[in-house]
Structure 1
Amino acid sequence: MKNWPNPFIEQRADPFILHHEGDYYFIASVPEYDRLEIRRAATLEALPEARPVTVWRKPDTGPMSELIWAPELHRIAGKWYIYFAAAHTQALDNLGMFQHRMFVLECADADPLTGEWREKGQVMTPFDTFALDATTFKHQGKQWYLWAQKAPDIPGNSNLYLAELENPWTLKGEPVMISRPEFDWECRGFLVNEGPAPLVHGDKLFVSYSASATDENYCMGLLWIALEADPLDPKNWHKSPQPVFRTSYENRQYGPGHNSFTRTPDGQDVLVYHARNYTEIEGDPLYDPNRHTRLKHIHWQENGMPDFGIPPADTL
């Protein structure tokens, strides 16, 4: 079992790693929040040294012109897609920071690092509110869209919603809410459920997510559902009453979260996440660049539930 260097990639928050046809693709938020860049390597271990390729830059004005957050790279029906959140300059000026909406880019070429990326526009949801952290996955023969959004009638910053996709940038049917901040550990600083990430193991579909403010209170929660159950029935979802991955003061790892999952070539599940190694943040935590990408093996318990363990200490 490999122990990766920690941090794995410095100053890259909201990390996402896709394993596709033998290669690993890495995408994440950059500290400047102004572009989307992809790096590719034949192994996980080679990703830190792989050259980042900028595939899109934000325009100066308009709905995608500020705070480019939490991109994910997906392969759907033979094309590449990047899902990300962005804010409108005018909305920021008038309304403050939390005015993000969700957007999609498409690349029909074979190589996403050299191909042409086209803007497919905003993913429209039933209410026009703060929305971010979209992911997509195949389940029960359907393509699903899973994201975080502010509900007009529910206190807090964001809840988690699930809907089927008509195509990679259009929802099909009515979304359902599968989680909202309710426990104390989800409501520290902000009432937040965000950054969902799906993972299948055994007879269950798991969704990890992040909760609370983006300082040392940031942590990960867990939802799960039986593989054959209807994911659009909220009653079928189960939720851990405790966080499953949280700050380790002993190891000086603070605010672990906004994760994704990948696998080693031999099929071991890997947690991909970010965390800081200090708590003394000047100003808004979102503008502190030192949320570093980190990797950790996931262990599986006999009852089929994941054990994320404790964030390991820095080795670099």
Structure 2
Amino acid sequence: MMTANRSSAHAKEPSMTLTPEPLVEQRADPWILAHAGHYYFIASVPDYDRLEIRRADDIAGLAKAPATTVWRKPDTGPLCALIWAPELHRVDGVWVIYFAAAPSREIVDGLFQHRMYAITCAADDPLAGDWSEPVQMETPLDSFCLDATTFQLRGRNYYVWAQKDPAIPGNSNLYIAELAGPTRLAGTPTSLSVPEYDWETRGFLVNEGPAVLQRHGRLLLTYSASATDENYCVGLLWADADSDPLDAASWSKSPTPILVSDPAHEIFGPGHNGFTVDEDGNDLLVYHARTYTDIQGDPLWDPNRHTYVKPIRWDEQGFPDFGRAGEDTLPPAR
């Protein structure tokens, strides 16, 4: 079984502290999509009130690219609060943004009241085209859910997300289902992971923020765990690319995290990652983190989770090596 990312857990401490510069400041839950010669960036904004997209010809240019708001929350109703963790995808030739929204900031039985929604755009240009009204992504459980992503395998589209099962202790678990269309599930979801290890249960029992990368004959599914402070970290599931992703037995789980806080570089709580490629096709990790641990009040209301991007190394077995969270990060364009 795969062990921990050795460079994260056991690398020699640098001789001096060097805080890397974020690619985009105050943008949590980042997602970068490379499509048709452009890079598209979407993330949670500190006000949690809208969906905005940036576009640039290269990754560094996203730092200064103008943001186009494509949807804004209403003042009332089930989507009037806490717009979280949007992701921009192309599904069956249609632009889709999956995002979480709540009817209020109220916490009930220890949880917010988010559900997952999707908006779509059929135009070639998602910054100029018309976006649909939100559609709820309905699942068998009507409960707190968030952080959806999607991927395609052998011509089929799959949807992966985090949700609370009232029968299971904790905040959220990971599930997968096939998509019948960009905004509708097909069949019964499969449970992939529940918080079980110490590093998944610090502060809160959390598995969330899934992202999928297909490399070296495997499906690699990263996710985030624990509270959104310095304990936040990234775990890994994997399956053979020729297996059935809806069969829970296809998946293995690393017993140790693969990306953790990096105090030597003043990077804390790295998580909610995504994947993209650079202009030469090299794999990149996209994630958010803070540069301090002294957070006043609930970490969710602290706006200083920043977007970082760094290259992915691959070990001799074809597994990703993310290294230290604060090393080799890409700077923004000047």
**TM-score range normalised by the length of the shorter chain:** over 0.9
Q: Distance in 2 between matches of 1:6 and 1:16?
A: 18
Partner of residue 23 from structure 1, selected from 35, 38, 43: 38
TM-score using structure 1 length: 0.96
Which residue of 210, 214, 224 maps to 2:238?
A: 224
TM-superposed deviation, 1:252: 1.1
Match of 1:256 in 2: 270
Which of 56, 62, 66 does residue 51 from structure 1 map onto?
66
Distance in 2, matches of 1:95 and 1:304, equals 42
- 1:14 aligns with 29
- Which residue identity lines up with residue 176 of structure 1 in the other structure? T
2:114 to 79, 84, 100: 100
Number of the residue aligned with 2:135: 121
**Quick one: which of 204, 211, 216 aligns to 2:225?**
211
1:96–1:32 Cα change, 3 Å: farther
Q: TM-score, normalised by structure 2?
A: 0.90
CA apart distance, 1:67: 0.2
Residue 65 (structure 1) aligned to one of 73, 80, 84: 80
- Give the 3 Å change call, closer, same or farther, for CA 93–186 of structure 1 in structure 2: closer
Match of 1:179 in 2: 193
Aligned AA for 2:210? P
- Any stretches of 5+ residues in structure 1 without a counterpart? none
1:294 aligns with 2:308: yes
Q: Deviations over 1:61-105 (max 9, x none)?
A: 11111000000001122211100000012x727667511000000
Structure 2 unaligned segments of length 5 or more: list them: 1-19
Cα deviation digits, residues 37-56 of structure 1 (max 9, x gap): 00000111111010011111
**Cα distance in 2 between the residues matched to 1:43 and 1:128:** 40
Aligned residues: 311
- State the match for 2:12 in structure 1: none
Given that 1:6 and 1:295 are in contact with CA atoms closer than 8 Å, whether structure 2 keeps it comes out as: no
Q: 2: distance between equivalents of 1:53 and 1:271? A: 24
User: Which runs of 4 or more aligned residues in structure 1 lie more than 2 Å from their structure 2 counterparts after TM superposition?
Assistant: 91-97, 313-316
Asked which structure has the greater RCO (Cα within 8 Å, sep 6+), the reply is 2
- Which AA in structure 1 matches 2:240? A
Map of 2:282 onto structure 1: 268
The AA in structure 1 aligned to 2:234 is: M
- Confirm or deny: 8 A CA contact 1:120 1:169 kept in the other structure: no
SS at match of 2:263: coil
Deviation at residue 120 of structure 1 after TM alignment:
4.0
SS in 2 for 1:286: helix
Aligned residue in 2 for 1:144: 158
Structure 2 residue 157 is matched with structure 1 residue 130: no
**Per the alignment, do residues 94 and 180 of structure 1 end up closer, same or farther by CA in structure 2, a change over 3 Å counting?**
closer
Checking the alignment, whether the CA contact within 8 Å between 2:173 and 2:194 is kept in structure 1 is yes
